Structure 1
Amino acid sequence: MWPNTLVLNRAGTDIATRAKDIEDGLADIVNVGVMALADPDLVERVRTGAPLHNPGPAAFYGCGEAGYTDHPTHTA
């Protein structure tokens, strides 16, 4: 699909480290899956430097009312 494209998955690293991997040419694309589950507004948070939520894997994918669907969005 994407010849010569490196997708890097470094679970547990922060967004700044992942961005640096792209800047340094270590990767073309990085994985942000868990971060996106914990922060549906991830792009806006990264753009504005807002803090990220700590992902709660026990509540992912329909484990009741608590979980990734109830994280508040960032307001400036």
Structure 2
Amino acid sequence: MAIKKTKKRSPINGSNDFDPLSVANFREIPLDVAIRILKNSGINVSEEEASEILALAHTLAKITIKEFILNQD
């Protein structure tokens, strides 16, 4: 007889309205710091490109945290 494993209920719904600030306090890095980090890595970008990279990184962080929380056993 197989034992059915149930997931813990999360206060986060399955929609894209997940707000990571409800579980973690994010402090985004300033644009000039991001540009400096990228330049030190040999990647020269404009302010607009750096801003888009930061937005993508923030989105990926939110998704990662959401998935981590929803997949807790």
> Fold-level match, TM-score > 0.5?
no
TM-score, with structure 1 as normaliser: 0.24
Structure 1 or 2, whichever has the larger Rg, is 2
Higher relative contact order at CA 8 Å, sep ≥6: structure 1 or structure 2? 2
Point out the structure with the larger helix share.
2
